[in-house]
Amino acid sequence: MTKVPLLLTGATGYIGGTVLTRFLQRPDASSFDIRLLVRSDEKAKAIQDLKLPVTVVIGSHTNAELMEQLASQVDVVIATADCDSLEAAQSTLKGLKKRHEMTGKKPIFIHTSGTGVYADLVNGKHADSEIFDDTNPKQIESLPPNAPHRPVDLIIVAGDAEGYVNSYIILPSTVWGTPTGPLFDAKISNAHSIQIPYAARAALARGQGGMLTEGKNVWPIVEINELGDLYSLVYDAIQNKHPMAGHGREGFYNAGYEEYSMKQLATSISEVLVQVKRGTNPEPSSFTPEELEKYFGRFGPFFGSNSRCLSVRSKEIGWSPKKGLREMLASVQYEIEALIAKGL
Task: List helix spans (H) across the chain.
Answer: 14-25, 41-49, 64-71, 86-103, 137-141, 150-162, 182-185, 195-206, 224-239, 262-275, 289-296, 312-316, 325-330, 332-341
Instruction: Answer yes or no: is 215 within a domain.
Output: yes
Residues 145 and 201 in one domain: no
Residues 154 and 24 in one domain: yes
Range of the structural domain that residue 294 is part of: 195-220+258-335
Examine the fold and report which residue of 231, 255, 279 is the final residue of a domain before the chain moves on.
Answer: 255
Does residue 20 surpass a pLDDT of 80?
yes
Burial of 49 (0-12, 13-18, 19+ CB in 10 A): exposed
Instruction: Answer yes or no: is 126 within a domain.
Output: no
Confidence bin at 122 (pLDDT 50/70/90): very high
Instruction: Answer yes or no: is 236 within a domain.
Output: yes
Mean pLDDT computed over 231-247: 99
Residues 48 and 169 in one domain: yes
CATH number of residue 300's parent domain: 3.90.25
Reported as a single tens digit per residue, the pLDDT across 191-212 is: 999 999 999 999 999 999 999 9
Pairing of strands 285-286, 210-211: parallel
Reported as a single tens digit per residue, the pLDDT across 156-194 is: 999 999 999 999 999 999 999 999 999 999 999 999 999
CB 306, CB 120: distance < 8 Å: yes
Percentage of residues in the chain with pLDDT exceeding 90? 99
- Considering its fold, how many domains does the chain have in total? 2
* Mean predicted lDDT score pLDDT of the chain: 98
Query: Which residues fall within 8 angstroms of residue 288, CB to CB, at 6 or more apart?
Result: none
Residues 135 and 24 in one domain: yes
Pairing of strands 4-9, 76-79: parallel
Residues 58 and 151 in one domain: yes
pLDDT at 255: 99
Mean pLDDT computed over 217-231: 99
Instruction: Answer yes or no: is 125 within a domain.
Output: no
Examine the fold and report which residue of 255, 270, 299 is the final residue of a domain before the chain moves on.
Answer: 255
Residues 201 and 86 in one domain: no
pLDDT at 50: 98
Residues 263 and 177 in one domain: no
- Please count the other Cβ atoms lying within 10 Å of the Cβ belonging to residue 234: 26
Confidence bin at 344 (pLDDT 50/70/90): confident
Residues 89 and 229 in one domain: yes
Reported as a single tens digit per residue, the pLDDT across 242-295 is: 999 999 999 999 999 999 999 999 999 999 999 999 999 999 999 999 999 999
Mean pLDDT computed over 10-36: 98
Instruction: Answer yes or no: is 78 within a domain.
Output: yes
Instruction: Answer yes or no: is 98 within a domain.
Output: yes
Confidence bin at 1 (pLDDT 50/70/90): confident
Q: What is the SS3 assignment for 287?
A: coil
- Please count the other Cβ atoms lying within 10 Å of the Cβ belonging to residue 47: 24
The counts of H helices and E strands in the chain are: 14, 16
What is the dihedral angle through the alpha carbons of 270, 273, 275, 280, rounded to the nearest 10 degrees?
-80
Instruction: Answer yes or no: is 285 within a domain.
Output: yes
220 phi, psi to nearest 5 deg: -80, 170
Question: Which residue(s) pair with 78 in the sheet?
Answer: 8, 110
DSSP symbol at 169: E
Pairing of strands 305-306, 120-121: antiparallel
Residues 148 and 213 in one domain: no
Phi/psi region, residue 277 (left: phi>0; alpha: psi -120 to 50; beta: rest), is left
Instruction: Answer yes or no: is 344 within a domain.
Output: no
CATH number of residue 243's parent domain: 3.40.50.720
Cα–Cα dist 341/89, whole Å: 37
65-103 burial: b if 16+ Cβ within 10 Å, else e: ebbbbbbbebbbbbbbbbbebeebbbbbbbbbbbbbeee
Residues 149 and 283 in one domain: no
Residues 207 and 88 in one domain: no
306 phi, psi to nearest 5 deg: -100, 145
Q: Which amino acid is at 238?
A: I
Residues 38 and 66 in one domain: yes
Examine the fold and report which residue of 235, 255, 275 is the final residue of a domain before the chain moves on.
Answer: 255
Does residue 60 surpass a pLDDT of 80?
yes
